[in-house]
Amino acid sequence: MESSDLREPVPESAKASDPGTHGDHVVRGQHMKQLTDSKYWEENWWQRKRPSRLWLYRDFDFETVRLLRKAGGAGAVRVLEMGAGGSRVLPYVARKFGYKVYGSDFSPSGCLLLRANLALQGVCGSVVCEDLFNSALRADAFDVAYSSGLIEHFDDTRAVIIEHLRVLRPGGRLVLIIPNLEGVQGRILRRLAPDLLGRHRVFGPQDLEGILKSLGLKSVACGYLGSFFIHIGRDTQWTEVRRWPAWLQLLVHGSVRLINGVISFLFRLSPLRPHSRSLSPAFYAVGTKPGV
């Protein structure tokens, strides 16, 4: 799938020499801090990942796909995921629903992994490696603009959402998913990985709903996603965990993964899917861009 029809020239003065290497931006004359950069994602995330498929054994994944299906409907819908490095959702919705999928990310390794995931599913898609605020994607071009785990990494949430809206056509649907750090997972990070927590803005669904309404979006809805999921890592960001003996790290990490898998799978099969501020792994907000 070619993306040239959805891109427009960007003046040389507006282009970054290396996408995402800088942690700060000037947006509409205002200084905005970016809480991560491409080096962070290259070193702490993507280099450890391998191509993989999305399996809907977790109720969180099932509900994410359901949100996108509801937003996109049927047909050759143009779906853009921003911050799409390594996405497994884009390949899934392309194969399952026939959507035309596009992904943008500032991490070269993340973009390579997304391309590999698309190939693994045997579907076509366009991947653009660029900075969010120096984007060559054409305005009003997509039916659905989506991101998951992106906007909380900037101190100006509103400015990041406006960039989503720029590429969304009038009448198109915005879908935002953010990790829920007001519950148990936030307390775990505060105790075991405080620096990692510091790379996120912590807010909730009502805060996000308020921003979308203030930007004029219609049919705004929000809520929690998934019934249960916690994470305890072993990499260098988990500074307190790294102080534990190696056997204890392995035991805790493995036990948490097993518990997550069993509980998530049971909720996935059950008609009961309790969502809560305490235990849900994420929250969402959706809205419709006003027509002209």
User: In the prediction, which pLDDT does 13 show?
Assistant: 30
Local structure of 198: helix, strand or coil? coil
User: In the prediction, which pLDDT does 99 show?
Assistant: 96
d(CA 202, CA 178): 9
Domain presence at residue 210: yes
Domain presence at residue 256: no
Average pLDDT on 188-194 reads 93
- pLDDT exceeds 90 at position 7: no
User: In the prediction, which pLDDT does 59 show?
Assistant: 83
User: In the prediction, which pLDDT does 15 show?
Assistant: 34
- The pTM for the full model equals 0.86
Do 89 and 54 meet the contact criterion of CB atoms below 8 Å apart?
yes
User: In the prediction, which pLDDT does 256 show?
Assistant: 93
d(CA 218, CA 123): 32
Q: pLDDT, tens digit, for every residue of 13-66?
A: 333 334 444 455 555 445 556 656 656 555 555 566 677 888 877 888 989 999
User: In the prediction, which pLDDT does 37 show?
Assistant: 60
Domain presence at residue 54: yes
- Please state the separation of Cα 175 from the chain's center in Å: 10
d(CA 27, CA 33): 10
| CA-wise closest residue to 143 among 174, 177, 117, 113 | 174
d(CA 276, CA 286): 18
Do 128 and 136 meet the contact criterion of CB atoms below 8 Å apart?
yes
d(CA 137, CA 7): 4
Domain presence at residue 63: yes
Q: pLDDT, tens digit, for every residue of 203-249?
A: 999 999 999 999 999 999 999 998 888 999 888 889 999 999 999 99
Q: Give every CB contact of residue 29 below 8 A, 6+ residues apart in sequence.
A: none
Local structure of 190: helix, strand or coil? helix
Q: pLDDT, tens digit, for every residue of 57-110?
A: 788 898 999 999 999 998 889 999 999 988 999 999 999 999 999 999 988 888
| Domain interval for residue 217 | 4-179+200-227+282-288
Domain presence at residue 103: yes
d(CA 58, CA 269): 9
What's the total number of domains in the chain? 1
Do 42 and 49 meet the contact criterion of CB atoms below 8 Å apart?
no
- pLDDT exceeds 60 at position 284: yes
Other C-beta atoms closer than 10 Å to the C-beta of 238 total: 21
Domain presence at residue 51: yes
141: domain CATH number is 3.40.50.150
- pLDDT exceeds 50 at position 12: no
Domain presence at residue 233: no
Domain presence at residue 194: no
Local structure of 256: helix, strand or coil? helix
